[in-house]
Amino acid sequence: MSPKANWIAVDWGTSSLRAWAMDAEGQDLATASSDQGMGQLTPRDFEATLCALVEPWLSAGQTNVIACGMVGARQGWIEAAYDVAPCKPQLGLTKAPTNDPRLNVQIIAGVSQAKPADVMRGEETQIAGFQKLNPNWDGVIFLPGTHTKWVQMSAGEIVSFQTFMTGEMFDLLSTASVLRHSVATNGWDQAAFDRAVDEAMSQPAAIAARLFGLRAESLLNDLPPATAKSRLSGLLIGAELAAARPYWLGQSLAMIGQKSMGVGYAAAFAAQHVPVIQTDATQMTLAGLKAAYASWKETL
């Protein structure tokens, strides 16, 4: 028999949906997930999609739902206005329109930055979760992913942040560019990755030429696909680290991300002798959703 939730925590991204049935003490009783991310839905689809996933957890009365991520984007269920940095994460909540009287859905605001222009949705909840578990911590929080974030934290506030499209660039270059012919493999060459990171960090302006060099070496010198793929990743990450140097050099650094997403960065930091606190993205997300729910309850 499925448990009845006291409230429900939801992480709704572009490509996936995750939910946790929570009890009154903040313990998760059950989890559920689907591939029905924001990118596949229209605003009118969100309520039915959520109900289909969490129906077994709902009771006759109203159940509160706290949601983070792209569900609050302009193309999502309802746009949740950004909090403006510098700010504490999770200042605002926006109520989503629902027809089912059993649901009261509140969506956590993202964070925006005016200059240079930047935005985040979902990461602010992971940051709040890290703060909850690591009170009084100041430094830089690094969130690797499709769009990697570097976030300067001080006195519990997001002071500034910068986003790099490194993950998306890797996907596009390896699947939709001429390099796709050279990197089609699941193999990996760690030494080649390390060398490429060093090359890109020392000469980031040459990255476009070095990228095409991967194709040329494949044609002329039979560069192994595993080496080409590893060099591609290393060049992109190295260029990012060169540009983000003010965020990590001499700073306390914490990484929030799934291990598979952060392994390349972790290796690059190790080569630079930069210590990094590594944390799990799912744990930080759930801790952040709990913190948002506790803060919301205090306002009732």
pLDDT one-digit tens code per residue, 68-93? 999 999 999 999 999 999 999 977 89
Residue 256 has pLDDT above 80, yes or no: yes
Residue 157 pLDDT class (50, 70, 90 cuts): very high
- pLDDT (average), residues 103-129: 97
What pairing do the DSSP bridges indicate for beta strands 148-154 and 157-164? antiparallel
Determine contact, residues 117/75, Cβ cutoff 8 Å. no
pLDDT at 127 over 80: yes
Predicted local distance difference test score (pLDDT) of residue 23 = 96
Tokens of 54: 């969490």
Confidence at residue 225, expressed as pLDDT on a 0 to 100 scale: 97
Mean pLDDT of the region 178-188: 94
Q: What is the mean pLDDT of the chain?
A: 95
pLDDT at site 86:
96
State residue 262's pLDDT score: 86
Supply the pLDDT for residue 237.
Answer: 96
Strand arrangement of the beta sheet that strand 103-108 belongs to: 28-34, 17-22, 7-12, 63-69, 103-108, 93-95
- In sequence order, the 6+-apart residues with CB closer than 8 A to the CB of 242 are 200, 201, 204
Give all domains of the chain, ordered by start, each with its CATH number.
Answer: 7-121 (3.30.420.300), 163-279 (3.30.420.310)
The model's pLDDT over 206-243, given as tens digits with 9 standing for 90+, comes to 999 999 999 999 999 999 999 999 999 999 999 999 99
pLDDT of 14 higher than 90: yes
> Is residue 260 pLDDT above 90, yes or no?
no
According to the model, what pLDDT value does residue 195 have?
A: 96
